[in-house]
Structure 1
Amino acid sequence: MSKKISFRQLDGILLLDKPSGLSSNQALQQARHLFRAAKGGHTGSLDPLATGLLPLCFGEATKIAGLLLGARKAYETTAVLGLTTDSDDADGAPLLERPVPDFDDATLEAALAGLRGPLHQRAPIYSALKQGGEPLYARARRGESIEAPVRDVVVHRFELLERDGLALRLHVECGSGTYVRSLVRDLGETLGCGAHVATLRRLWIEPFNKPRMFTLDELKERAGEGEAALDACLLPLETGLVGFPEATLDADGCRRIGHGQPARPVTEVPAAASGSPVAIFDSARRCLGIGRLGDDGQVEPQRLFRWAVAGS
């Protein structure tokens, strides 16, 4: 019998370099067991085929995971022209093979340009989006007829890095909810030959624009060196809030926030932040949680970390 893992209370953010072939949840569980973290979650799924940055939140950091889902992201992908699949990537079953027309770089650039900016994008049928409480991929695997939803997304960059025969290496920067598989599918349709994703790697997610990622193999090696070596891979949860408006409270303000009451910051918070998430700090620069700036200039607590809650 395998030894039962003794989980521990652990808070922090791990920038995992997810390997291909694992789902995001499988990668999360492997990392969580290595760290023996009692609680963990990931911020935005990567397809099993995909590699690259998957921020994992342990402990109290799970309370800010949702804030990272809407962040800007960057990817590098290889699109193969001439073949469409049911999942829009190389893991799917072939649907249609078509000849690739002899187009020049100007034609390709025009096709890419048409997929930049605000778009109405149809999600892949093999996706984690839910309809009727069930992921679309579960219905697709049963062979059900699916009308994938169309969503508003923003593509900031969609550029050619290299062209090699039928393969296009592309750089993508996009906002929340954007599917690179759908971008590649739509690019192939614009070119008249179809396309699918052969490789996909996530490069960064704001605010982790130059991430130091750790592979599962690196984490296993560090685990063998001891808990301290492993824990050194974690970032403090405050790093996930870089760029958020900050509200610093004095001792009385911290007490009020801890009791669920609004408090007035001792530092000025931009009026533009009114109604938006605000990171709450004490005078020692310890983050207490997330609040909302009211029209009266006071911060209302929304999600507090356990050390900020009175009586915890």
Structure 2
Amino acid sequence: MQFTEEYFKEGQVLLFDKPLNWTSFQLVNKVRWLIRKTYKIKKIKVGHAGTLDPLATGLLIICTGKFTKRIEEFMGQEKEYTGTIVLGATTPSYDLETEIDQTFPTAHLNDELIKKTTAQFTGSIQQQPPVFSALKKDGKRLYEFARAGEKVEIPSRTVEVSAFEITRIELPEVDFRVRCSKGTYIRSLAHDFGKALNSGGHLSALRRTKIGDFDVIDATSLEAFEAALQQAEASNN
């Protein structure tokens, strides 16, 4: 791969492994800044396909130049995630962004019950997005209402979950793998799964591993991308 100004302007699909605690927008902005700085250009189109929460890691597709027109196409593809649900407690954000607000018993839980309950969450399911999300209502993002302590009605939506597999059970932790459609909130899935088990639950780790045919094993880190740009710049001088 030979990085050049024309390479990025013509359009590329770049696969990144988003680091923990970064927003998707921060990563896009950093990539755009690096390209502009390297080639001393004022403008370059850069966008991402499918936002990841700051507390999630994994595959983020970043498109440049003319390929930004394909973002909607990539966003519509099936996604795969792995992660960890902690049973026996809930949080308002459904993940570790907020503190535990309620605890529940877990003595009644066993491997069979946990694995059997996944069947309730496969196929077409109704899901309510978390109130701590970037979805907009009346021109404001839902997390703005949540942080202000304002209650807001959030309509449920239909999403498709083609696979929900439990890969490890060490209570209160449960590891999983999920394949799902665009618009699925894994935080909501964790919350609803805990509720179905009469135990409560929240997400403690999340990693996106696939988008369509794109796999995180083919993704690069921001550090490796920056190093490759520097190398390309040095060889062109």
TM-score, structure 1 as length reference: 0.68
State the one-letter code of the partner of 1:11: G
> In the alignment, is residue 155 of structure 1 matched against residue 158 of structure 2?
no
Give the number of the structure with larger relative contact order, counting CA–CA contacts within 8 Å between residues 6 or more apart. 2
Alignment of 1:241-280 (within 5 A): none
- What is the rounded CA distance, in whole Å, between the counterparts of 1:72 and 1:103 in structure 2? 31
Equivalent in the alignment of 2:11: 11
Pairwise CA distance, 1:110: 2.0
1:61 aligns with one of 61, 67, 85 = 67
Q: Contact 2:58 / 2:216 at 8 angstroms: preserved in 1?
A: no
State the one-letter code of the partner of 1:157: A
Equivalent in the alignment of 1:116: 122
Larger Rg: 1
Equivalent in the alignment of 2:32: 32
Equivalent in the alignment of 2:77: 71
Equivalent in the alignment of 2:113: 107
Pairwise CA distance, 1:61: 0.9
The alignment covers a number of residue pairs equal to: 224
Equivalent in the alignment of 1:23: 23
- What is the rounded CA distance, in whole Å, between the counterparts of 1:189 and 1:136 in structure 2? 22
State the one-letter code of the partner of 1:17: D
Equivalent in the alignment of 2:211: 205
- What is the rounded CA distance, in whole Å, between the counterparts of 1:30 and 1:210 in structure 2? 19
Question: Could you say if the C-alpha distance between residues 73 and 28 of structure 1 is closer, same or farther in structure 2, counting changes exceeding 3 Å?
Answer: same
When the two chains are superposed, the root-mean-square deviation of aligned CA atoms in Å is 2.0
- What is the rounded CA distance, in whole Å, between the counterparts of 1:130 and 1:170 in structure 2? 29
Equivalent in the alignment of 1:296: none
> In the alignment, is residue 48 of structure 1 matched against residue 48 of structure 2?
no
Alignment of 1:157-172 (within 5 A): 157-172=163-178
Query: Unmatched 5+ residue regions in structure 2?
Result: 37-42
SS of 1:145's partner is coil
Q: Contact 1:10 / 1:38 at 8 angstroms: preserved in 2?
A: no
State the one-letter code of the partner of 2:89: L
SS of 2:53's partner is coil
2:196 aligns with one of 165, 187, 190 = 190
Question: Could you say if the C-alpha distance between residues 228 and 51 of structure 1 is closer, same or farther in structure 2, counting changes exceeding 3 Å?
Answer: farther
SS of 2:214's partner is coil
SS of 1:114's partner is helix
State the one-letter code of the partner of 1:124: P
> In the alignment, is residue 223 of structure 1 matched against residue 229 of structure 2?
yes
State the one-letter code of the partner of 2:32: R
Q: Contact 1:34 / 1:219 at 8 angstroms: preserved in 2?
A: no
Pairwise CA distance, 1:70: 1.3
Pairwise CA distance, 1:35: 2.1
CA deviation digits over 1:3-37, x for unaligned, max 9? Answer: xxx99735211101000101110111111212226
Pairwise CA distance, 1:93: 2.6
SS of 2:145's partner is helix
CA deviation digits over 1:232-251, x for unaligned, max 9? Answer: xxxxxxxxxxxxxxxxxxxx
> In the alignment, is residue 91 of structure 1 matched against residue 103 of structure 2?
no
Pairwise CA distance, 1:211: 4.9
Q: Contact 1:118 / 1:152 at 8 angstroms: preserved in 2?
A: yes
Pairwise CA distance, 1:133: 2.3
Q: Contact 1:85 / 1:94 at 8 angstroms: preserved in 2?
A: yes
- What is the rounded CA distance, in whole Å, between the counterparts of 1:148 and 1:210 in structure 2? 32
Q: Contact 1:101 / 1:192 at 8 angstroms: preserved in 2?
A: no
- What is the rounded CA distance, in whole Å, between the counterparts of 1:60 and 1:226 in structure 2? 21
SS of 1:172's partner is strand
TM-score, structure 2 as length reference: 0.89
Percentage of matched positions with identical amino acids:
37
- What is the rounded CA distance, in whole Å, between the counterparts of 2:234 and 2:194 in structure 1? 49
